[in-house]
Amino acid sequence: QNYLDNFWPDLKAAHELFDSIVQARRERESESQENHGKEYPEHLPVEVLEAGIKSGRYLQGALNVNKHRAQLEAFVRLQGFGSKDTG
């Protein structure tokens, strides 16, 4: 803000862009505080997920994403599956 005020006081577009960025950061910080520091809110309560995993309705695993083709290639490695000694 000081830089813009001192060196570019008449550059309206830059000031508007800066204000927009500041507002977006404040909103993101506010959302983060509401979500207890998590970037994304949880979709289902933990209790529902745990019960679903125990009942077999949901599966638990690790998400693996291809770093070169992240928007096209990903898979979930299920816990207890995929070790070398399984068929």
DSSP track, 19-43: HHHHHHHHHHHHHHHHTTT-SS--S
- Contact assessment for residue 29 and residue 35, using Cβ atoms and an 8 Å cutoff: no
pLDDT value of position 42: 67
pTM, whole model, 2 decimals? 0.40
pLDDT, tens only, 8-56: 999 999 999 999 999 999 888 877 777 666 666 668 888 998 999 899 8
